[in-house]
Amino acid sequence: MDPGLLGQYLLNGLVLGVIYAMVAVGFTLFFGVLDVIKFSHGDVVMAGAFVGLAAYAGLEHLGLHSPLLALALIVTAATAAMALFGAAAARYLVLPLRGAPPLNTLLATLMLGLALREAVRLFYPNGSNPKPFPRLLPVEAIDIGNFTLRYDSAIIVLGGLAAIFALHIFITRSRLGLAIRAVAQDAETARVMGIDFRAVVLATFALGSALAALAGVANGLYYSEVNFSMGLLLGVIGFSCAVVGGLGSVLGAILGGFLFAALQTAGAVWFAVPAYKDVFAFAAVILVMAWKPTGLISETPAERV
């Protein structure tokens, strides 16, 4: 195969990997602290992108056209709004169901995702149509043979990696990170040691949802288009990545994200019909699950989150 085209596939895989990893980390964080699977996570990604879009529309309305300012505002608005939403969902939906069977939480969050999706479709102006996402990053490109590298693709990859790295540092080095890990390891003991359990749970959900919003914005910037149903598949893929990596492990989720993107890319290159790439990637996920049921980085109680 032409090396330029191979590079094109790799670049696309890399961007997808970063986005998947950001979504998967949320799943793993929630599972870590509360042992719940929050199925509305994919729709939080979508809602984050739409909040960003609304913020941008507001800025346009005020007549400000600086791309840098717009980008900063979009990212801030999206992450802040989704952090609040995530914390509220944890406070009013997930925590009250803590004593109920896990199936209830799963169903409740699935419904929450549906409500979020329908709300965007119905209440965002013309929300049922695909929306163009502003091109705020430089779109100049370097052409090397058949390989076209647009600067914005590179910036999305670097930005996403930086966000994931920052989260990792936060979890492993900060006091709140320590508290999150303590709750993940043993909630009861953490409480006895004086850790505010509820505050830690809310903070975790806020953190995971903010990262999802960032994934939504990255997704919008990459595809230049967002739509109300984009969270559906992203949610399923993010969840698969987290499970393959090992639910509860942040590193596992990141690994899972890149692995899934690599599988999709390999599927696209190998098969003459690219439509098989998802079949291939999900089938591979099933095989990995059969081989390592607890995920690639399997959870040992002390290493959770």
Provide the mask over 247-266, with x wherever binding to other proteins is found by CB under 8 A and - wherever it is not: -----------------xx-
Compute the least distance from the CB of residue 277 to other proteins, in Å. Answer: 6
Q: Which is nearer to other proteins, 156 or 242 (CB)?
A: 156
Q: Which residue has the tokens 């419904």?
A: 111
Longest distance between any two alpha carbons in the chain, whole Å: 62
Half-sphere exposure of 37 (CA within 13 A, CB side): 17
Distance CA 155, CA 55 (A): 21
Query: Applying CB under 8 A, which part among 55-63, 125-133, 206-214, 282-290 lies near other proteins?
Result: 125-133
- Work out whether the CA dihedral 95, 298, 249, 113 comes out positive or negative: negative
Contact (CB, 8 A) for 41 and 235: yes
> Where do the DSSP E strands lie in the chain?
131-132, 141-144, 147-150, 225-226
- Judged by CB under 8 A, the chain residues 200 through 239 that form the site for other proteins are 222-225, 227, 229-230, 233
- By C-beta, is 190 or 263 nearer to other proteins? 263
- 92 vs 151, which CB is nearer to other proteins? 151
Q: How many residues bind other proteins (CB under 8 A)?
A: 35
State the binding string over 11-40 for other proteins (x if CB under 8 A, else -).
-x---x------------------------
Least distance from C-beta 128 to other proteins, angstroms?
4
168 touches other proteins by CB under 8 A: no
User: Residue 206 corresponds to which tokens in the numbers above?
Assistant: 């806020």
> Least distance from C-beta 304 to other proteins, angstroms?
32
Under rule CB under 8 A, residue 132 binds other proteins: yes
Question: Is 181 near other proteins (CB under 8 A)?
Answer: no
Helix/strand/coil for 295? coil
β partners of residue 141:
150
Task: Specify whether the CB–CB gap between 43 and 86 falls below 8 A.
Answer: no
Footprint on residues 81-110 left by other proteins (CB under 8 A) = none
Should residue 117 be labelled a site residue for other proteins when binding is judged by CB under 8 A?
A: no
| Options 96, 102, 138, 274; binder of other proteins; rule CB under 8 A | 274
Long-range contacts of 155-159 (CB under 8 A, 24+ apart): 156/15, 156/18, 156/218, 156/221, 156/222, 157/11, 157/14, 157/15, 157/18, 159/218
Q: Between 116 and 207, whose beta carbon lies closer to other proteins?
A: 116
Q: Is 126 in the site for other proteins (CB under 8 A)?
A: yes
Going by C-alpha positions, the residue among 13, 17, 8, 29 that lies closest to residue 250 is 29
Closest CA to 241 of 228, 255, 221, 262: 255
Q: Does 129 bind other proteins (CB under 8 A)?
A: yes
Applying CB under 8 A, the residues found at the interface with other proteins are 2, 5, 8-9, 12, 16, 121, 126, 128-132, 141, 143, 146, 148, 150, 153, 222-225, 227, 229-230, 233, 264-265, 268-269, 273-275, 277
